[in-house]
């Protein structure tokens, strides 16, 4: 096992609890059909050879979560929209990716195998995903340098530092390498705490995508569960300059996400499509947008391997 290949003890049999609040089978099938059409539409209408604009990613990502029958609830101050930013969150489900993108579009860090996946691979590449080779530890310094370069260019990068999904009842240790990129680039870290709740408001493990779970089984579990809510708690920004090294920065981010720490006097807000607005259309999701323009140089100077190694 390398620093890029952590594992979690969670399995569907041990961690995913059956829910008593199930929706009708036809409705679940309709949700999955809508979800598939939304993904295919995103691939078909995304600009060839260019990045998908952030606004389109935000709308499309929200629509994906909503199409699965999940409401989005956000707590805390909005994430900064301008400048480099490292978003870090705990990892529970495949839903985490569109959930984060619907709140603050960012270049996602993902394993290189996703590039070869049908449909999803093409969409991920056009969405600006930063692919990493998790099988080669030697590639780690270069990956950290690429992340730092992206952050210096004023872009946001989203990472799940646990490196694996957990069921939500526990949290795995955070890997340090990605936090080195924030230190090198001198950009703030935005911790995000993700939780899922059922129709009664109790924590739900139905969305968990863990262990040997299949994507089909996870999709069906989500689509057939009634009243699921995805909660994203945007916690106070962390200034990397306030921490002596990446170990301290990693510990601070992990502790903040584990316990949650924000102004609880702020009201919870639900995203617009969760307040009964009209059904999502292709134009509403992707909008009319021009060809994307690059906002900064690609890549970055290589960082020393001794600094990037976890």
The total number of structural domains that make up the chain: 1
The whole-number pLDDT of residue 281 equals 30
Q: What angle do CA 301, 303, 307 make, to 5 degrees?
A: 165
175 domain residue, yes or no: yes
Residues forming a β-bridge with 170: none
The predicted pLDDT at position 64 comes to: 94
CATH of the domain at 158: 3.40.1130
Residue 301 lies in a domain: no
Q: Is residue 3 part of a domain?
A: no
Rounded Cα distance, 54 and 100, in Å: 12
**302 CA to centre of own chain:** 26
Cβ atoms < 10 Å from Cβ of 27? 14
Asked whether residue 298 is assigned to any structural domain, the reply reads no
In a domain, 296, yes or no: no
Residue 295 lies in a domain: no
**Per-residue model confidence as pLDDT tens for the chain (310 residues):** 444 556 666 666 667 776 767 889 999 999 999 999 998 888 777 766 667 778 888 999 999 999 999 999 999 988 888 899 999 999 999 999 999 999 988 998 887 777 777 777 777 777 788 888 777 777 788 889 999 999 999 999 999 998 777 666 667 788 898 999 999 999 999 999 999 999 989 999 889 888 778 889 999 999 999 999 999 999 999 999 999 999 999 999 999 998 875 544 444 455 544 443 323 333 333 343 333 333 444 344 444 444 444 4
pLDDT attached to residue 47 = 67
Residue 1 lies in a domain: no
Q: Do strands 269-270 and 71-75 pair parallel, antiparallel, or not at all (unpaired)?
A: antiparallel
- Tell me: the pLDDT tens digits for 175-216? 898 999 999 999 999 999 999 999 989 999 889 888 778 889
Residue-level pLDDT at 166: 66
In degrees and rounded to multiples of 5, residue 144 shows phi and psi of -60, -40
Q: Residue 112 sits in which domain range?
A: 12-290
The pTM of the whole model exceeds 0.95: no
pLDDT at 20: 66
Query: Does 246 reside within a domain?
Result: yes
CB 166 within 8 A of CB 8: yes
């Amino acid at each position: 096992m390398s620093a890029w290949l952590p594992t979690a003890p969670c399995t569907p049999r041990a961690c995913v609890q059956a829910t008593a609040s199930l929706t009708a089978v036809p409705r679940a099938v309709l949700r999955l059909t809508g979800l598939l059409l939304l993904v295919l539409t995103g691939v078909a209408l995304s600009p060839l050879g260019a990045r998908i604009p952030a606004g389109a990613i935000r709308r499309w990502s929200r629509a994906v979560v909503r199409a699965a029958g999940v409401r989005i609830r956000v707590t805390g101050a909005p994430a900064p929209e301008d400048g480099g930013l490292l978003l870090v969150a705990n990892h529970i489900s495949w839903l985490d990716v569109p959930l984060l993108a619907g709140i603050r579009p960012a270049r996602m860090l993902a394993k290189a195998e996703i590039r070869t996946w049908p449909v999803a691979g093409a969409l991920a590449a056009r969405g600006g995903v930063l692919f990493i080779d998790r099988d080669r530890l030697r590639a780690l310094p270069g990956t950290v340098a690429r992340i730092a370069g992206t952050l210096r260019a004023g872009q946001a990068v989203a990472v799940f530092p646990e490196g694996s999904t957990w069921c939500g009842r526990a949290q795995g240790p955070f890997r340090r390498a990605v936090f080195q990129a924030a230190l090198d680039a001198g950009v703030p870290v935005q911790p995000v705490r993700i939780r899922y709740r059922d129709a009664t408001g109790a924590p739900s493990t139905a969305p968990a995508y863990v262990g040997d779970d299949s994507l089909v089984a996870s999709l069906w579990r989500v689509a057939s569960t009634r009243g699921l809510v995805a909660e994203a708690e945007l916690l106070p920004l962390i200034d990397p300059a306030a921490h002596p090294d990446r170990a301290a920065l990693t510990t601070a981010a992990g502790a903040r996400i584990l316990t949650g720490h924000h102004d609880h006097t702020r009201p919870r807000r639900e995203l617009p499509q969760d307040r009964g607005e009209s059904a999502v259309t292709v134009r509403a999701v992707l909008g009319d947008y021009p060809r994307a323009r690059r906002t900064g140089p690609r890549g970055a100077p290589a960082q020393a391997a001794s600094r990037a190694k976890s």
